[in-house]
Every structure is written in structure tokens, then in C-alpha cells.
Amino acid sequence: MDRAQKEKVVEELGQIFESSGVVVVAHYAGLTVAEMQDLRARARDAEASVRVAKNRLAKIALEGKPCESIGQYLSGMTVLTYSEDPVSAAKVAEGFAKDNSKFEILGGAMGSDALDRAGVKAVSDMPSREELLAQIAGMLGAPASNIAGAIGAPASNIASILSTIEEKAEAA
């Protein structure tokens, strides 16, 4: 890799570190190509990304960034999982780590907050942005459906009473 390519990689990594809601660092030694493809597919499905980069270039890209604290995890064969959503990348990494013992999560960062292994686990247990929006929409919609049910209930009760009276009148 020549100097221009290295500068481009550092710039790309810098943008990743700056714009991501969460970055998870893990060791991936011993993973097969198929397993890495599985990780990338899971990340893609969750609107997250996976990036393998040279640790030296990643450390250069981290300088002055909010998540500079993850530099301590950049040694050995590391892979970065990141996403704009503060939860997606952590969920992907945790799910993949459960299925694959060779994938070892070291830590990460959520904005300027450093995350250790337990911190990444805690973030992955949080609901994602989509799940929160669905919960809020459900909460907002519930009162309206209750009101509609309450308004419609007397009319249906009256209709059933009239039907019962009509049946009794026909029987008599």
C-alpha cells in the first residue's frame, strides 16, 4: 500500500469514527472467509458495517476523534463493527459472538463514551431505534383505538338488544 492509499484509508476510518453512533472492536483470529461473510451479511441486514483495517492506520485516524479511547483495543487481528444507530452494531457483534467462539469482543465506543466488554453487552440489550419508534407508535395508537371501541360499543350493545327483542317478538 503506498502513501496515497494509506492517507485515503486513514481519512475513511476517520469519517467512520466521527459519524458512527457505536463502534465495536473485536478479535477475529481463526474465522473462515465464510464466517466473515456471514458477519458482513448480518451487519448489512441490521444497517451496520464491518471493516478490517491496519491497527496503525486506525490509531492515526482516531487522533482527536470522540472515540479515541478505543485505541487501546487495537492490537492483533481486529475488526471494527459500526453503525449510525447507537445499538445496531453492538447487537450484530453480540449475536455473532454467541454463535462463534473465535469472535472475541474487546470493547468499543458510543460517541465519546468508552465501552468495555460489559458495556458493549449492555448496549446490545437496549432496544434499537426502530423498536423504540414502534413502541411509541403503539402507545400513541392505543388510546385512539380504545376511544373508537368505547364509542362503538354502545351502538353495538343497542343493536344486540334490539335484535334480541325482535327475536322474542317473532317467537311470541
Please indicate, yes or no, whether residues 92 and 140 belong to a single structural domain of this protein. Answer: no
Please indicate, yes or no, whether residues 101 and 28 belong to a single structural domain of this protein. Answer: yes
Please indicate, yes or no, whether residues 149 and 91 belong to a single structural domain of this protein. Answer: no
Condensed to tens digits (0 to 9), the pLDDT of residues 133-142 reads 777 777 776 6
Last residue of a domain, one of 111, 126, 141: 126
Residues 6+ apart with CB under 8 A from 81: 23, 24, 26, 39, 43, 48, 49, 50, 89, 90, 92, 93
Please indicate, yes or no, whether residues 101 and 145 belong to a single structural domain of this protein. Answer: no
Provide the CATH number for the domain around residue 112.
3.30.70.1730
Structural domain span for residue 24: 3-126
Please indicate, yes or no, whether residues 37 and 119 belong to a single structural domain of this protein. Answer: yes
Mean pLDDT of 29-40: 92
Condensed to tens digits (0 to 9), the pLDDT of residues 88-120 reads 899 999 999 999 989 999 999 888 888 889 888
